[in-house]
Amino acid sequence: MTSSPQQPRPELSLSASLDEAKVLIVGITAGADSTPELSGDAVLGADVAAEIVARLAAVGAKGKAEELTRIPAPDSLPVSSVLAVGLGKADDVTPEQVRKAAGVASRALSGVESAASTLGAFDLGAAVEGHYLGAYTFTAYKSAKSAPKPGEGPLAKIALLVADADKEAATTLARSAAIAEAVATARDFVNTPPSHLYPAEFAQRAADLGLAAGLAVEVLDEKALEAGGYGGIFGVGKGSSRPPRLVRLSYSGGVGEKAPKVALVGKGVTFDTGGISIKPAAGMENMTSDMGGAAAVVATVVLAAKLRLPIDVIATVPMAENMPSSTAQRPGDVITQYGGTTVEVINTDAEGRLILADAIVRACEDEPDYLIETATLTGAQLVALGNRTPGVMGSEEFRDRLARISQEVGENAWPMPLPAELRKDLDSKVADLANVSNNRFAGMLVAGTYLKEFVADGVQWVHIDIAGPAYNTSGPFGYIGKGGTGVPVRTIISVLEDIAHS
């Protein structure tokens, strides 16, 4: 086993002064006369704010969304410079725009030890999340030759400027920092290379996190999976020399028999070659992200415990490596999913739904009220919705509820249908089901239709396809860097909070 890499995390605090800051971050909006307008007057004072605005206007700052302008600080301030970040028109500022602006500012201040920010004047929670996630870096596998030198690392300390650091502000800071930390944990998992994060190692790290948070932990190895009838997980994993696992993490925060119970399931394919139905070589290295759903679920159940939500949450997380070998499952093989459904494996690259089906059946044995499952499942998700918009399917009322909440927190899941006519395309000539349909249309919806077959009656469930949103292969934007994004941690925890308090 390898040790879990410890990555630098920013230190966030509330402050009414600039005493320890090297740089002041201010949020500016676009004024009606094309001049910037400054937030944070209550902390900075009207005279200082006016001087900063005048200097920004002199160098052409407009306050456009995510526009960065850095100027020397007024002599009256104990900082060397001011970094202004645009928020767009004042009437259009949303929490997500604050989150993006904070992220852009944190990324721009790499190499700066400490900064103070006025962005909390718009939305404190969003500013905390944006600053924290914008400062995220992953350098665990860089040697001294290429690792950041002293003074070149990420922004280390961020003080959110508030006129009065009352109990409500402190609570907001603590909650938002915990959420951002969970997102960063999911990112760490996704960014860890498959050479170092294989099923047994992933299971151990998840178990360690669970135990540290006071969760009940159960781990099934390959022998237990085969003996227990988990044909999907065992079948996908048997082509690899690094055998599969199933991890169960249970948080009991509910009070009384009527406390809501939520099941979480996440796809944990630590690397996906496609198996015998092998993928093209180009871009295959990005399949290190094929456990993004599992990473999000593990991070979220631990977060639920840290936030002490008054509900019960049980995460069931299948982990496997999909490799081609003499022991790998073949196209045309028939497996038996946990619970007894037989499946003809037509395409071994449609492996995620096989391990998820086992986990869904097992999760439903706990008789949950709700089941949230997420996976980097289909390339069809990117075709339909692009690389930043998750598709969500499932029970219509719960699907729409989750999509609405996801859009509110900036992860922007979009509701998709599960047309009844797609089911017949999964009929098999030799088994109960085939794992893919016989045409190339509606691939995301077909996968959701397959998973629906394994959800117990009466359970409100959703499937979130994050094939694109879980991993950013392009340049940084907002509070998202290259690599793992941590989607959909913020969506799931917000849904859990909504369930807990409804």
Report yes or no: 171 and 127 within 8 Å, Cβ to Cβ.
Answer: no
Q: Is the pLDDT of residue 45 over 90?
A: no
Number of H helices, E strands in the chain: 14, 21
- Asked if 251 and 244 touch (Cβ cutoff 8 Å), the reply is no
Q: pLDDT digits over 323-356, tens only?
A: 999 999 999 999 999 999 999 999 999 999 999 9
pLDDT of 451 strictly over 80: yes
Give me the phi and psi of 117, to 5 degrees please. -135, 140
Catalytic residue among 279, 423, 452, 482: 279
Residue 263's φ and ψ, nearest 5 degrees, are -100, 135
Last residue of a domain, one of 135, 165, 195: 165
The answer as to whether 2 is a domain residue is: no
Annotated catalytic residue, options 353, 362, 401, 490 = 353
- 385 with 443, same domain? yes
Q: Based on the domain organization, do 409 and 360 belong to the same domain?
A: yes
* Dihedral sign (CA 154, 480, 487, 442): negative
**H or E stretch covering 370:** strand 370-375
C-alpha to C-alpha distance for 7 and 4, rounded to whole angstroms: 9
Using the CB atoms, write b or e for 316-350: b if 16+ within 10 Å. Answer: bbbbbbbbbeeebbeeeebbbbbbebebbbbebbb
Phi/psi region, residue 410 (left: phi>0; alpha: psi -120 to 50; beta: rest), is left
CATH classification of the domain holding 28: 3.40.220.10
Q: Is the pLDDT of residue 3 over 80?
A: no
Q: Are residues 209 and 149 in the same domain?
A: no
- Cα Rg of the chain (Å, integer): 24
Length of the chain (residues): 502
Q: Are residues 315 and 210 in the same domain?
A: yes
Q: What pLDDT is stored for residue 44 in this prediction?
A: 87
Q: By percentage, how much of the chain surpasses pLDDT 90? A: 88
Same domain, 143 and 226: no
Whole-angstrom Cα distance, residue 427 to residue 422? 10
Inside any domain, residue 177: no
Kindly report whether the global pTM for this prediction surpasses the value 0.85.
yes
1 pLDDT higher than 50: no
Q: In the structure encoding, which two tokens stand for residue 307, read together?
A: 């936030």
pLDDT at 203 over 70: yes
Residue 353 annotated to the active site: yes
Give yes or no: residues 256 and 318 share one domain.
Answer: yes
Phi, psi at residue 444, to the nearest 5°? Answer: -65, -40
Same structural domain, 259 and 394: yes
Query: Which helix (H) or strand (E) covers residue 202, if one does?
Result: helix 199-212
Q: Are 38 and 130 in contact (CB under 8 A)?
A: no
pLDDT higher than threshold 60 for residue 65: yes
Segments forming the whole domain that contains residue 147 = 11-165
Q: Which residues are within 8 A (CB) of 398 and not within 5 positions of it... i.e. 6 or more apart?
A: 370, 460, 461, 462
- Full DSSP string of 396-430: HHHHHHHHHHHHHTT---EE----GGGGGGG--SS
Say if CB 209 and CB 293 are below 8 A apart. no
Number of domains forming the structure of the chain: 2
Position 41 scores a pLDDT of 65
- The pLDDT of 165-173, averaged and rounded, is 93
The answer to whether residue 372 sits within a structural domain is yes
Residues 424 and 354 grouped into a single domain: yes
In a domain? residue 232: yes
* Residue 484 domain-assigned (yes or no): yes
Half-sphere exposure of 402 (CA within 13 A, CB side): 32
Which of the listed residues 165, 195, 224 is the one where a domain comes to its end? 165
DSSP secondary structure string, 423-448?
GGGG--SSSSEESS-SSSSSHHHHHH
Stretch 462-491: mean pLDDT:
97
Considering the domain architecture, whether residues 306 and 421 belong to the same structural domain is answered as yes
Assess whether 242 carries a catalytic annotation.
no
Q: Among 103, 130, 165, where does a domain finish?
A: 165
pLDDT at 6 over 80: no
